[in-house]
Amino acid sequence: MTKELWINLPVSDLEKSKAFFTQMGFSFSDGRGNSEVSAPMMIGSKKIVVMLFEASVFKKFTSHPLPDTSKTCQVLFSFDADSSQEVDALAAKVEPAGGLLFSPPSLTDGWMYGCGFADPDGHRWNMIYMDMSKLPGHN
């Protein structure tokens, strides 16, 4: 039944968001969905699509007001890293690119190393490296 999944995300300034995510190392497709009001951002080897939509267009789809991301968080976008060094490298790019590093790189539970950042619109993202050899009970 389902062939693909797109995650739709409102942004206040599409070009600013594209510049931010490009500086963070993400890429955009020139294909379907690429327009003056939207941009398909590709994530990971499975090419998950996060469609960035100008907020006014997004509101038409949802028929709902947008949340104030400075006060609420409805979703945390998490993606994996190949190493703790990759987490550190991404974290170093956040603020120069125009985002907010709300959780600097750190180790959690002895086996997860990650950081949390907010994009220019306040949406929250999490990059994490999971060292499965250190997972309790994992052999």
Asked if 138 and 130 count as a contact pair (C-beta separation under 8 A), the reply is: no
Residue 128: pLDDT over 70: yes
Asked if 79 and 127 count as a contact pair (C-beta separation under 8 A), the reply is: yes
DSSP state of 126: E
The identity of residue 83, as a single letter, is S
Could you give the 3-state DSSP secondary structure of residue 9?
strand
Instruction: Tell me what pLDDT residue 91 has.
Output: 98
Q: How confident is the model at residue 136 (pLDDT cuts 50, 70, 90)?
A: confident
Instruction: Tell me what pLDDT residue 2 has.
Output: 72
Q: What is the mean pLDDT of the chain?
A: 93
Residue 69: pLDDT over 90: yes
- Of 74, 72, 81, which is closest to residue 114 (Cα–Cα)? 81
Asked if 66 and 51 count as a contact pair (C-beta separation under 8 A), the reply is: no
Instruction: Tell me what pLDDT residue 5 has.
Output: 81
DSSP bridge partners of 43: 48
pLDDT tens per residue, range 72-105: 998 999 999 999 999 999 999 999 999 999 999 9
Alpha helices in 1-139 (DSSP H): 14-24, 55-62, 84-97
Helices (H) and strands (E) in the chain, counts: 3, 8
Euclidean distance between CA atoms 85 and 115, whole angstroms? 11
pTM summary value: 0.90
Instruction: Tell me what pLDDT residue 139 has.
Output: 61
